[in-house]
Structure 1
């Protein structure tokens, strides 16, 4: 017997059990005693048993592939999300097909077509900054394709969602800046179409309102492509610094906007935090290595990827159509450093 090709029939013969008993034991069926499950699993592990995924997919009409739709793989936040997704997918013997739309609605639609041609079992989706119309996802949802939205979500489609506490994170950061004595707190954020933009602005405005601050709308600047284009950040920062009363503190709403803003401020010769304080949503490594170290709103991107994948696989493997959906909200952590 070749141990690298061991089958369920081989295990059944070796342990003098039926094929169905071995199959159910490996799946952890309640119909099989714990002692038998342990016996089968130990034998399977010792003899390097691996399930025949192709045979299973043909039998169950499943591809055991998950499609991932997101903006940019090199983005620090999404790189961590992908690591979380992969950790669960690998443990469950699912393959990933990852697409990046580079913040383009047109590319998002085309990538979605490519994924469906490959008959993925489900989708993990984070919307592009240009996406206002979600009908391309709605059509697939109506056809019964399981999907979970994460980070950048839509309420137009009934589906599981996994998000960050964007309101709370922005509120904490803005409140911190207020308590440090800053008077004119501006923000540079992403596309107004995105759920994360609306929620982070809600937290920002809530903190200002509670403190009796009434800043004009020009203290809020948008980057239509989430800061992927450095010129967007340059324009937003220029608009803020040209105000009659320029901001003395800045809240930035994503990795790319945070890093870009920090660099541009220093290139302009402005001192952080003496002339302008900076705090930002960020998941890049070692913000303490910035000079001065950067105050950040930390999101648990890895956990977001894990949770979204668990919800999707549960839905894919459910015996009945899922009609009740969950919204998981992960907490943020404000880490105060010298930039504020």
Structure 2
């Protein structure tokens, strides 16, 4: 394709931005003249097609991590799916026009990018991205990276393997839906239990849970059965220990956690997405989108309001991004 057909990249763009910490409803605003990020040698510039929201976005906006945050004003957003429009001099894996996806912040809480994915363009290190599987739309692809990588890293840290049993706390959420799918199809769990509210039990079954537990009606720690691994995506580490087998492990993604639980914050890595690609391409690991998804770019504040209810199922995606 002739270079002439590649659209020229503007110097400024539309982005959702906050200049002070606070509630998304108060501080987030659409800036139509935000500078496009400068490209480093190991980065690609993406024309963003879709972005998904994560709880870390509104916690960061709320100032929970201000000690290690990047300077304001900031455009939020970790998850991205888009098209490469420019490559840095050291980039080997991607070329202009490649369709890619990833979590753009390697260390989630250590100086994340000032220009996140809720913008028309974002610059991302090559190693954080993977080629988008052809069977996923941009909308679907944006729902994967942070949540599926967190699910994968947590299962790896817990030493999960074939024949082990697992209990997933928060099975219908962004991370939980992927923990169930990975435990079943990638790790071949012997038994998968998962908690959710009443109306989401059917989803847990569809994803592969053998034992869906309605947390509004029963206490999982009172079950006679105990589990090799408890994956806590909701912040109930103390209760989680009571559901663990002797010699088992509790892994949690909600700080601070209680020892000896394994507490971790994801280190983003495009190689995780490449490893999981065969399962995604075969349809075994699939995107789970909240029924209200997608929210158009103009309704990003409404998307955050929905996320902040903590009632979302799967992932909330903003699409299309103009």
TM over 0.5: no
Query: Which TM bucket (shorter chain)?
Result: 0.3 to 0.5
- Larger-gyration structure (1/2): 1
More strand by share: 2
